[in-house]
Homo-oligomer: A and B are copies of this chain.
Amino acid sequence: MAEDVFKALADPTRRKILDELTERNGQTLFEICTRLTTKHGLGSSRQAISQHLAVLESAGLVVSRRQGRYKFHDLDTQPLERIVTRWLKPDAPEGTP
């Protein structure tokens, strides 16, 4: 639902995670943790990031695939494209009769 997408986007840490996955897709939880602390400078614990990933996943913004003991996370921008057209309708992007 759109509700979940908006609530998922409300948190700055979750938006940083989306930024990180935009740069490099298919990261594991620990990869995201380390790159968030080093590059973006925010010290969030593993559990915190894990819960954020769960929120993003239930919103459909992130899909995960398990492989052995690793769990890779991929970005999915489809939910984003849907929610924005809500108030931008009178724009008539291109193929509108």
Contacts and interface: CB of A to CB of B under 8 A. Distances in A.
Q: Is the interface of A mostly helix, strand, loop or mixed?
A: helix
Contacts of A77: 87-88
A32 interface: no
Nearest to A61: B87
Interface in A1-53: 2-3, 6-7, 9-10, 12, 15, 18-19, 22
B89 A80 contact: no
A4 to B, nearest CB: 11
Interface centre among A9, A75, A81, A94 (most CB of B within 10 A): A9
A92 interface: no
Nearest to A7: B10
